[in-house]
A = this chain, B = another copy of it.
Amino acid sequence: MVNRQFVLASRPVGMPKESDLRMVETPVPALRDGEVLLRALYLSVDPYMRGRMNAAKSYAPSVEIGELMVGGGVARVVESKNLGYEVGDVVNLQMGWQEYAVSNGEGLRKVDPNIAPVSTALGVLGMPGLTAYFGLLEVCGVNAGETVVVSAAAGAVGSVVGQIAKIKGCRAVGIAGGPEKTSYVTEECGFDAALDYKAATDYPAAIKELCPGGVDVYFDNVGGPITDAVLANLNARARIAICGQIAHANDTQPSMGPRMWRHILVARAKVQGFLVFDYAGRYGSALEQLGQWVRSGQIKYHEDIVQGFENMPRALIGLFRGENLGKRIVKI
């Protein structure tokens, strides 16, 4: 049986090209005792993957040239020599960009199809949902009545951030690109307001208009001039979580902007970079809560599904063009 994989062919300079990833075919190895064979149902593309394609030091090791691209997936057990798994079980794991994976069970999480479609294990009930949950509730902390601003608000993380903020009694303001996304954010996800940064010219004034009482919490997925504008509108004791900087993912030289630390000082604000993995010990209870909110309809989600394994590179590249609404996943 043949396994198709994508390996890193070359390190991208700026925006990745499809040719930076190469499809290879390898045989699926025979199972040993204790192992399961998994067939991918859905694979994830996420902005963090761009960082792994660089040689530069980051919080996680780089993918080496010729190595399997990293990433999460939802897969079905198609063969099992592990007593903990039966054929047909659906699991979530870091399986990389490939159609089949062999696992000894380590790092697998069973996905219950009765809670929600199993694809949600890559989105609202997976890493992006957990990132929103811990970033908003633990890194920032929110109090009812506060104003919460989130960038990339129509994305997998941002859309959940605003909805949790609403559940907690906050005013939620999203920033997104284009009317389709801002409508999604306000009309589907129930945010109080949204800024279309593609239509705005004076970002600080636009933020001020949407947040007349100032900004108490900022969940930043983007960086760049949008973040500068939010920082110019901070309230005293504001909290800022830096979750991503997608505006800078493909920078080939440092992005220049106004130095904003005086605003952080004057507001006595707290800024923190965080990774969801720091909260790994508490995923279980967080997923339970997120699952309740999804089932009750208090959290809505949208999946942006790309068909076919062969389209993974272009699915990833599209994230940096802002193509996706909600969580982009590839159906295998």
Contact = CB atoms under 8 A, between A and B. Distances in A.
A259 interface: yes
A205 to B, nearest CB: 15
A275 B261 CA distance: 14
A257 B257 CA distance: 6
Interface string A213-232: 00000001001100100000
A216 to B, nearest CB: 15
Say how many copies of this protein the assembly contains.
2
A271 B264 contact: yes
A156 B321 CA distance: 49
Given A256-B256, A258-B255, A274 B268 contact: yes
Interface in A242-281: 242-245, 248, 254-259, 261-262, 264-275, 278
Interface string A168-207: 0000000000000000000000000000000000000000
A124 B254 CA distance: 39
Contact of A270 (B244, B261, B265, B270): B270
Contact of A245 (B257, B261, B267, B270): B261
Contacts of A220: 261
A26 interface: no
A285 interface: no
A262 B242 CA distance: 8
Interface of A: 57-59, 220, 223-224, 227, 236, 242-245, 248, 254-259, 261-262, 264-275, 278
